[in-house]
Amino acid sequence: MKKLWIYCLAGIGMAACNTGNTKKELSDGVWKASLHRADGANIVFNFQVKDTAGKKVLYVLNATDKLLVDDVKVNGDSVFIKMPFFDSEFKARLAEGGNLEGQWIRHLADKDVSIPFTAQPHTAERFKKGAAPAQQVTGRWVTTFVDKDKSSEAIGEFKQMGDLVYGTFLTTTGDYRFLDGIMDGDTLRLSTFDGSHAYLFTGLVKKDSIVNGRFFAGIGDHVEDWTAVKNDSAKLPDERTLATMKPGQSKLDFTFPDLNGNKVNINDDRFKNKVVVITLMGSWCPNCMDETGFLSQWYKKNKDRGVEVIGLAYERTPDFEKSKKALTGFLQRFDVQYPVLITGVTPADPEKGEKTLPQLTGIKGFPTTIFIDKKGNVKEVHTGFSGPGTGEHYEQFKADFERLITQLLAS
């Protein structure tokens, strides 16, 4: 049976693995899934399967977020699940007891990587309940992550209800989106999965500090240590100071092709005498997904006010056709109606700023949002994005965004 399953996964096309077993079904309801890392630090998450118009769909569940996955194919006992973003998918089979067994596969720019995956039906519990909560983590935590000889700062924000914990980590370049977990005695356990992020956090809570923290990320063996100290007044650096215009520069000047190959210039008539919002993004970027969702809806409601939006895409490959393919589904999912241009420069390129927007002091993270007034002058540059997983910070972002646009339209 094992050899047959390996053959089926390696096979081409959608042929099912027919072993003569009785028919198995992808059961409706909530499932518990596990990504099985080689170090034993399994990354767990939940998803819900539903029948919609005779077709199976599922929702990936993280705290209050429900991510729709509507590309689900069941052929015999083979199940193929393609994630809507980030070019990743599951190839699995329905095993005895109705469980799923298979692989989660990520298609990177130059190779594919994978990790074993299993899932149990009718299991809403994310982490197995252990001891009653012995600590309370609700609040803000100044957090330090250590990766070998490098360290980075973040602010953890958590809300605890009984033994359940929701929250995220805020950084200068964005947030870790929706983290979901429990307090098991004095041990904090949090995880998330969205097709790109696959994270597990553990830590020992001691009243106003968290020690012995471990952060397990993704398919490989990446692990970071982390500690945190409670500080409800903690703040990140001002997002407007991380990237700015160079001295003596006030306007941007760029030309890039859209997905149809048509060249678009910031000085085209379409953008003259209008407020322009430019987002530096990529289809690989979860925080860019959140910002694109916001901007797409906002633009459809506000484009008649004299506002334009331009997306500048930094994809994982400089190849135009591959970048176009990665972006097409991403933009269709959010019904993006503003132009998105392909820069042909990757996010890993250390000279990405100089090659694309040399008027800036640099590109410090994705997304980065640039606000331009009706005279073509850059008024503000915001690095990072506080998405819906950040709660009140997302609400504050929306209010500040609208306030700034109104000011620029009035000037």
Phi, psi of 287 (to 5 degrees): -65, -30
Tell me: pLDDT of 6 over 50. no
User: What is the signed CA dihedral for 264, 269, 272, 276, rounded to 10 degrees?
Assistant: -30
Residue 134 has pLDDT above 70, yes or no: yes
Whether 382 shows a pLDDT value over 50: the answer reads: yes
**What share of the chain has pLDDT > 70, as a percent?**
94
What average pLDDT does this structure show over 138-151?
Answer: 95
Q: Where are the domains of the chain?
A: 2-120, 139-230, 255-410
C-alpha to C-alpha distance for 223 and 146, rounded to whole angstroms: 9
DSSP string, 36-90: --TTS--EEEEEEEEEETTEEEEEEEETTEEEEE-EEEEETTEEEEE-SSTTEEE
- Asked if pLDDT for residue 12 goes beyond 80, the answer is no
Bridge partners of 90, per DSSP, are 81, 104
pLDDT at residue number 25: 85
| pTM of the full structure | 0.88
CB within 8 Å of 403: residues ≥ 6 apart: none
Among all chains, which residue has been given the structure tokens 């720019």?
A: 109
2-120 against 139-230: fold identical = yes
Residue 13 binned pLDDT confidence (cut-offs 50, 70, 90): very low
Q: What is the pLDDT of residue 23?
A: 59
Q: Give CATH for domain 139-230.
A: 2.40.128.120
**Architecture of the domain defined by 2-120:** Beta Barrel (2.40)
For domain 255-410, the CATH architecture is 3-Layer(aba) Sandwich (3.40)
Grouping H, G, I as helix, E, B as strand and the rest as coil, residue 3 is helix
pLDDT at 207 over 70: yes
CB 162 within 8 A of CB 177: no
